[in-house]
Amino acid sequence: MNRKPAFYLLSALLLAGGASCNLGKEAETRTTQAQVNKVTTEQHRPQFHFTPPSKWMNDPNGMVYHKGEYHLFYQHHPGSTTWGPMHWGHAVSKDMVNWEHLPIALYPDELGTIFSGSAVVDVNNTSGLGTKENPAMVAIYTYHSEKLEKAGRNDFQTQGMAYSLDNGRTWKKYEQNPVVKNPGIRDFRDPKVSWNEKAGQWVMTLAVLDHIEFYGSKNLKDWTKLSEFGKTAAAHGGVWECPDLFPLTVNGQLKYVLLVSLNPGGPNKGSATQYFIGDFDGKTFKSDNPLETTFWLDYGTDNYAGVTWDNVPKSDGRRLFLGWMSNWLYANEVPTASWRSATTVPRELTLRQTSEGVRLFSAPVKELQKLRAGTTFVKAQEVSGTLDLSNRYNLNSPLLELDLNLDVAQAQNVVLRFSNNKGEHLEVGYNPAQKELFIDRTKAGKTDFKDTFPGRHTAPLTLENGKLRLHLLLDVASIEVFANEGKTVMTDIFFPNEDFTKVELVSTGTTRLLDSKVYKLKPASGSETASTKVSDIR
């Protein structure tokens, strides 16, 4: 039975009321993600994934690190649990695991609602909006004018800018918005901005219908088009969205990775994210990918519109990613009560050389290890039939991390089955003959809310000598699978009527379970001293 505590009702009322206030006014509701988790017994509320306190969330936006905090802004409709007039929600974290929710950062104005975008720290004060001692945090986002769209015009999306001088706590819109006007194209959005040292300027990566356009600026205010990429490259089953461009090193060589989300056209239908590896000279991107080849960041159905954090310290050196854990096929219909959507866990992206060429690998960030409630070692053994891992290793929990090393050279099929007492189950497995990793959620609980939701989703995966490493993260309503160090990744959500507290390894033929580790996980704990604070509308 679901409950909506007073906190949720109050939060929802304040957020809805703030949306109708004058610009710059907002309902200040602060809480940690832990409090969001603990004050509710709502079914399907993730326990170690970021979720909004209430109402609708989709794309992560404005991800930037500054003064010891990871900032996460996100597409947010504070008046409904379905998509609507977009605002930027806001949260901060010191570790990407435990989050503090902050007031809404950006509200719609006369130029439009606030679609996706990015944020940077203008450390050299190129914009003149701050000082070198107190650099401005600058958000660059898409304005979506419903008024112009309804009038039948094509130029209803433009790029705007806002800035903060207090580490993202309050924001001021740039008086001369928009900073990039629309040339007459319906899909003209999702700017991802970063500083390019070689070019000595800011570079904006922008999604434009079926391709990417790059813009350059010395001051974040005045932008010039540099080049285009992608009209004939890779997947074009839907509109290109939410790009990201960033450098990574492989084999001692600097390369650039370009992420492009598209909807529809994913490998298992609906929305998904593809990537390109190539070179960027500060103006033009040249892909190493064959034009007809598509590389997918995640083969599951529920990792979309993800981008990476900007301004992560060089001493850290990681490229850190976060995605929206849903799919436009059914995002508005999923059976959650007071909120909709979560993010993936934060992931580190790396380039690695493989026998098939250079590929982008994903792995959960090391900070998630603090959620482990002790380590259980699994000794090597052969499995023919069913091994009840939950009973043997005390894994009767819906929050699990499994790091399994398998030899499937003599197996016809191997499956990890997560189940409950209602007969519902989720399967994650590998078929050696088909060289196929899969997730099957057809019997994982509630599926009838949308006919596009149930299904068996697959990903190609070729093994070397039959060796398969499966690193899995199970939350109450999601599974994230990182196969063979994260070369192949799958993310799916599901909605059981009762938590999955049983896990079995089922082998057709003989699977050798090699030395492995499994962990029960704790919910994200948040700040122990943080408190919920509701103040007056200001």
Provide the 3-class DSSP secondary structure of residue 533.
Answer: strand
Rounded Cα distance between 236 and 239, Å, is: 7
For the record, the structure tokens of 335 come out as 């059976």
Contact status, residue 491 vs residue 481, Cβ threshold 8 Å: yes
Backbone angles phi, psi at 313, to 5 degrees: -55, 145
Contact status, residue 238 vs residue 262, Cβ threshold 8 Å: yes
Order across the sheet with 201-208: list the strands: 188-196, 201-208, 211-217, 224-229
Rounded Cα distance between 455 and 298, Å, is: 16
The length of the chain in residues reads 538
Give the DSSP letter of residue 135: P
Rounded Cα distance between 510 and 387, Å, is: 12
Q: DSSP letters along 295-361, please?
A: EES--SSS-EEEEE-BS--TTT--EEEEEE---TTTTTT---SSEE--BPPPEEEEEEEETTEEEEE
Q: What's the N-to-C CA distance of the chain in angstroms?
A: 37
Contact status, residue 235 vs residue 283, Cβ threshold 8 Å: no
Residue 421's Cβ-side half-sphere holds a number of Cα atoms within 13 Å equal to 3
- Residue whose structure tokens are 């070397």: 464
Contact status, residue 139 vs residue 122, Cβ threshold 8 Å: no
- Residue whose structure tokens are 């598209």: 262
Rounded Cα distance between 453 and 475, Å, is: 18
Contact status, residue 311 vs residue 66, Cβ threshold 8 Å: yes
388 among known catalytic residues: no
Angle at Cα 92 formed by Cα 86 and Cα 93, nearest 5°? Answer: 140
Q: How far is CA 507 from the centre of its chain?
A: 32
Contact status, residue 125 vs residue 183, Cβ threshold 8 Å: no
For the record, the structure tokens of 118 come out as 């990015």
Set 59, 190, 244, 298: catalytic member: 59
Strand-pairing partners, residue 202, are 195, 217
Residue 290, amino acid = P
Contact status, residue 138 vs residue 119, Cβ threshold 8 Å: yes
Rounded Cα distance between 249 and 255, Å, is: 6
Active site (catalytic) residues: 59
